[in-house]
Chain A
Amino acid sequence: MNHLVESFENKILGEKYYKIRHASGLTVFVYPKNMSTAYALFSTKYGALERTFRVEGETEMLTVPDGVAHFLEHKLFEEVDGSDVFAKFAALGASANAFTSHEMTSYLFSATDRVTEALEILLRFVREPHFTDENVKKEQGIIGQEIGMYDDRPASRLFYALLEGLYREHNVRINIAGTVESIAKITPELLYRCYHTFYRPSNMVLSVCGNVTPEEVMAVVDRVLPKEEEPMTVELSYPTEPKELASPYTELAMSVAKPLFAFGVKDLATFASPTERYRHMLLVNLLSRCYFSKSSHYYNELYDSALVNGSLDSFYDAMNTCAYFGVMGESDDPKTVFEKTVDLFKNIRENMPSEAEFLRMKRIAYATYVRNFDSTEEIARSLTEHYFHGTELFAASDVLSSITYEEFVSFALHYFEDKEFALAVVRPTDEEKENEIC
């Protein structure tokens, strides 16, 4: 193989993976793993956040309609000869899919046999766009229904209501699928333009995990990808986000039985290195587990007093251009839960988790990390995400083990100090309330 190869080894797992830089500029990860199911993920560092950009040579920045990245993802499944990509995978027994998130778009398959054949189909269909007026129009109907489906999902609406409350400017507040109105503005020309800007091999990564060798994978990559890199500079623009919230409280009414709530803070911290950012993410997660896991006194107090039903889900999304921490749950009295929790965090000195609690949360984080290695899908996804965020999968556990209780305490003391909390609530519609009374 004529490529730059690096390998990474984990002694406890007894496993090893390879990172290969292909001549086309594509980065390839191959993680050989003794599992029946192989999983491959072909991703571009292009998601819903990449809304305004300019390619070298162009004078003006272009702002595209909301939902283009996701629309493009759907449309790449269209083949020049009108054949069906899903059918090609299905004939091998492989299952294909794709998804678009804020930061990336991924195309994937899982297969238990003839993995290199499926891999060739994957690389080829993503490399060969085919957009026409007719097929764009057809997709507007399908995605319109997809948007309608998300529209009826309370958790989805709630999540965006929180982001809209937290962010004034950042694109993260815009929903990934766009709106029926915004996707109506999409044309084949626009799709081609976005495609040629963001689907260059140097902006992409391929992660394969399963019973395959680097040689087998690279043979396919060599067949499909160009022999050399075509340099291109893309200038991206993201709005500057102020410290202030957009709205401290957002409420909407939907057909739900009990109010759902989400609250959180936006995290504007900046870091000297990707590892520092990763460490910060681990610290936030350890801290939130101390209050919201099933063993925590705070969660049990809320649950026993019937202030919340079911579990409280805390989340910390750390992206390259933004980060936020939040908590989601179900409560008859979201405002009280919100106020109690804000109070807890604002007086964190009195509510500091003990060292024993901290160590237990570290064990949870360690076990979660280890368990992920049982899934070829998790491995391929983690390799991709670590790469896009500038960190390395095996080194991640060293970062975790190096966090001490002292560091945790000093982090916890200051984390919420300068942050404002936003609350979003989905309350039952009036009809729902009447049903309840009847």
Chain B
Amino acid sequence: MSLYEKIGDGVTFHYLQTSKFTTDYFSVHFVMPLAAETASGYCLLARLLKRGCREYPSQAALYSRLEELYDAAMGISSFRQGEKQVLSMGMDVLASRFIFDGSPVTDEALALLRAVLMDPYLENGVFSSAYVEREKESLKDDIRASINDKNSYALMRCRQLMCAGEPYAVNTSGTLESVDACTPESLYALYLRMLKEATVEIFYIGTDAYELARIRAEAFSRALGARTPKTADTVFCAPRPEVQRVTETVSAVQGKLAMGFRTGITEKTSVKEKVALSLFNMIYGLSPVSKLFMNVREKRSLCYYCASRNDNIKGTLFVYSGIENQNAAVAEEEILLQLDAIKKGEITEQEMLCAKEGFRDTTRSVADSPFTLEQWYLTRALYGDALTPEEMFAILNELTVEDVVAVASHITLDTVFFLEGSVGKGEADGESSCGIL
């Protein structure tokens, strides 16, 4: 059984009944516009809420309590999707049949989650300055550490360069400067604003009956108080007339290529066209039978990975690959050649079949974890379509090569970012396991 309904101003409750899992899962998501002025603040809020609440005022006390509740897994994080920033709080609790002392763990864990959200640890009416200072330092360390993973760093730089001036360019963590600008007072004001203005999505995924789950969700909704939810529209941009090229060097062995494309999505793009773009991406670079994998890696041995990802909220597509420095131009050429092939309709029956079957597999497996279920319906809420996995697959399964060619024809290269490795070939190392993909 799956339901969703509005239970407050800007508050939607999603209910999915299942007894498949060993846990009951409850989560609350605050969805805000992504903006340079608030990104660091929301990130810091996610960290501060985890530091403690009035009743359990330190991280040690709060986590000790969670462990007593049979290691109730409380996750609080902030992430971006399209031009939205989401602050998510989740509580994953062992189902009652696994609780050997019979204590009402789910209710106690949810009471704790509500306390963490609504009754945070404060000093002089605002967040503790010691906690704020420590979390600011820690977040700044994380921002600096974004260079550690060269592939995601290259993708981030490509996105920033391509979408400069749009909210999309903003990082979830913000910048060192925007972290510095946060104070206990400004963060507390932002916290109050979030409670009042964010769009809120509440999820329950577990065995309990709808009535009981709804009562729990309403308790959260009521606690938020009077609300005036605010939203912001996505900014849609045309690709730049001439491709932007930027190269940076870094002390690394391998070069990382990141290519940013605009896919031509606007507010008028239909659901069918968006689904066609997802099918395009599956054929182009999402799987080990995709054109990029089969050609850039298997045929030309240029790389270990070459893949693509698309964002249908914003209308972007990114291709990324780790290559030898001198192969950057050849790899780029091959990547564009494969895109052109799709634009010309060179899609085999086998490619179409694999992409559709792969998509079917993905949609069917959504039901196998509370987290993938939540992710699916949260994403749908952000898209504003409420499609079930089955409905989405039904649309996709009807698509033809012509539909894919039609959406591919709008895909235009905008920015090429190359992170050039400056280290010569040295002694190599591995990891605790090495795979084929």
Binding site for B on A (CB under 8 A): 12-13, 34-37, 48, 67, 70, 73-74, 77, 84, 86-87, 90-102, 110-113, 138, 141-143, 145-157, 159-160, 175-180, 254-258, 293-297, 300, 303-304, 306, 309-310, 317, 330, 360-361, 363-364, 366-368, 370-371, 373-376, 429, 431-432, 436
B190 contacts partner chain A, Cβ-Cβ < 8 Å = no
CB distance from B9 to the nearest CB of A (A): 35
Which residues from A are CB-within-8-Å of B228? Answer: none
Q: Cα distance A295–B62 when bound, in Å? A: 7
CB distance from B58 to the nearest CB of A (A): 7
Is the Cβ of B435 less than 8 Å from the Cβ of A100? yes
Of the candidates A84, A97, A295, A370, the one whose C-beta lies within 8 Å of that of B289 is A84
Which of B94, B302, B432 has the most C-beta atoms of chain A within 10 angstroms of its own C-beta?
A: B432
Given contacts A90-B354, A93-B357, A374-B21, contact A36 B67 (CB under 8 A): no
Of the candidates A70, A90, A138, A300, the one whose C-beta lies within 8 Å of that of B58 is A300
CB distance from B311 to the nearest CB of A (A): 22
Is the Cβ of A176 less than 8 Å from the Cβ of B431? yes
Is the Cβ of A113 less than 8 Å from the Cβ of B361? yes
Is the Cβ of B322 less than 8 Å from the Cβ of A148? yes
Is the Cβ of A151 less than 8 Å from the Cβ of B358? no
Which residues from A are CB-within-8-Å of B302? Answer: 141, 145
Q: Cα distance A159–B430 when bound, in Å? A: 9
Which of B66, B134, B358, B434 has the most C-beta atoms of chain A within 10 angstroms of its own C-beta?
A: B434
Is the Cβ of A294 less than 8 Å from the Cβ of B369? no
B149 contacts partner chain A, Cβ-Cβ < 8 Å = yes
Is the Cβ of A152 less than 8 Å from the Cβ of B421? yes
Q: Which residue of A lies closest to B150 (CB)?
A: A152
Is the Cβ of A366 less than 8 Å from the Cβ of B301? no
Which residues from A are CB-within-8-Å of B433? Answer: 99-102, 176
B232 contacts partner chain A, Cβ-Cβ < 8 Å = no
B181 contacts partner chain A, Cβ-Cβ < 8 Å = no
Which residues from B are CB-within-8-Å of A97? Answer: 435-437
Is the Cβ of B145 less than 8 Å from the Cβ of A256? yes
Pairs A-B, 8 closest by C-beta atoms:
A93-B357, A175-B430, A141-B301, A257-B144, A295-B63, A367-B71, A90-B354, A93-B361
CB distance from A65 to the nearest CB of B (A): 13
Is the Cβ of B71 less than 8 Å from the Cβ of A142? no
CB distance from B421 to the nearest CB of A (A): 7
Is the Cβ of A294 less than 8 Å from the Cβ of B250? no
Complex A-B: 29 CB contacts under 8 Å: A35-B368, A36-B365, A37-B365, A37-B368, A70-B430, A73-B436, A91-B354, A93-B359, A93-B361, A96-B288, A99-B433, A110-B365, A113-B361, A148-B428, A149-B304, A149-B322, A151-B426, A152-B252, A156-B429, A157-B429, A159-B431, A175-B429, A176-B433, A176-B434, A257-B144, A293-B63, A364-B71, A431-B251, A432-B251
Is the Cβ of A87 less than 8 Å from the Cβ of B134? no
Given contacts A156-B430, A176-B431, A374-B21, contact A90 B358 (CB under 8 A): yes
Which residues from A are CB-within-8-Å of B186? Answer: none
Binding site for A on B (CB under 8 A): 20-23, 58-60, 62-64, 66-68, 70-71, 94, 97-98, 134, 137-138, 141-142, 144-150, 250-254, 287-289, 293-294, 297-298, 301-305, 322-324, 350, 353-354, 357-361, 364-365, 367-369, 421, 425-437
Of the candidates B63, B251, B304, the one whose C-beta lies within 8 Å of that of A146 is B304
Is the Cβ of B434 less than 8 Å from the Cβ of A99? yes
Q: Which residue of A lies closest to B95 (CB)?
A: A370
Is the Cβ of A113 less than 8 Å from the Cβ of B288? no
Which residues from B are CB-within-8-Å of A373? Answer: 22
Is the Cβ of A77 less than 8 Å from the Cβ of B436? yes
Which residues from B are CB-within-8-Å of A112? Answer: 360-361, 364-365
Is the Cβ of A86 less than 8 Å from the Cβ of B23? no
Is the Cβ of B251 less than 8 Å from the Cβ of A255? yes
Q: Cα distance A111–B324 when bound, in Å? A: 34
Given contacts A86-B289, A149-B305, contact A176 B430 (CB under 8 A): yes
Which residues from A are CB-within-8-Å of B294? Answer: 84
Q: Cα distance A293–B60 when bound, in Å? A: 9
Is the Cβ of B361 less than 8 Å from the Cβ of A95? yes
Is the Cβ of B22 less than 8 Å from the Cβ of A374? yes
Of the candidates B149, B150, B251, B435, the one whose C-beta lies within 8 Å of that of A429 is B251
Contacts A147-B428, A175-B431 known; list 4 others, CB within 8 Å.
Answer: A77-B436, A90-B357, A363-B67, A436-B144
Is the Cβ of B354 less than 8 Å from the Cβ of A255? no
Which residues from A are CB-within-8-Å of B357? Answer: 90-93
Q: Cα distance A295–B427 when bound, in Å? A: 40
Q: Cα distance A375–B22 when bound, in Å? A: 10
CB distance from A129 to the nearest CB of B (A): 15
Given contacts A364-B67, A432-B251, contact A90 B301 (CB under 8 A): no
Is the Cβ of B432 less than 8 Å from the Cβ of A102? yes
Which residues from B are CB-within-8-Å of A84? Answer: 289, 294, 298
Q: Which residue of B lies closest to A431 (CB)?
A: B251
Q: Which residue of A lies closest to B249 (CB)?
A: A431
CB distance from A349 to the nearest CB of B (A): 22
Is the Cβ of B361 less than 8 Å from the Cβ of A309? no
Given contacts A86-B289, A152-B253, A309-B141, contact A256 B148 (CB under 8 A): yes
Q: Cα distance A361–B68 when bound, in Å? A: 9
CB distance from A82 to the nearest CB of B (A): 12
CB distance from B354 to the nearest CB of A (A): 4
Is the Cβ of B138 less than 8 Å from the Cβ of A300? no
Is the Cβ of B435 less than 8 Å from the Cβ of A296? no
Q: Cα distance A5–B147 when bound, in Å? A: 53
Is the Cβ of A177 less than 8 Å from the Cβ of B430? yes
CB distance from B65 to the nearest CB of A (A): 8
Is the Cβ of A150 less than 8 Å from the Cβ of B431? yes
Of the candidates B250, B304, B361, B437, the one whose C-beta lies within 8 Å of that of A94 is B361
Which residues from A are CB-within-8-Å of B430? Answer: 48, 67, 70, 147, 150, 156, 160, 175-178
Is the Cβ of B138 less than 8 Å from the Cβ of A310? yes
Of the candidates A90, A98, A102, the one whose C-beta lies within 8 Å of that of B436 is A98
Q: Cα distance A367–B70 when bound, in Å? A: 6
Is the Cβ of A296 less than 8 Å from the Cβ of B429? no
Given contacts A97-B435, A176-B433, A364-B67, contact A330 B141 (CB under 8 A): yes
CB distance from A325 to the nearest CB of B (A): 14
Q: Cα distance A145–B306 when bound, in Å? A: 11
Q: Which residue of B lies closest to A294 (CB)?
A: B63
Which of B288, B322, B433 has the most C-beta atoms of chain A within 10 angstroms of its own C-beta?
A: B433
Is the Cβ of B434 less than 8 Å from the Cβ of A12? no
Given contacts A91-B350, A113-B364, A151-B254, contact A138 B301 (CB under 8 A): yes
Is the Cβ of A91 less than 8 Å from the Cβ of B368? no
Q: Cα distance A61–B298 when bound, in Å? A: 35
Is the Cβ of A300 less than 8 Å from the Cβ of B60? yes
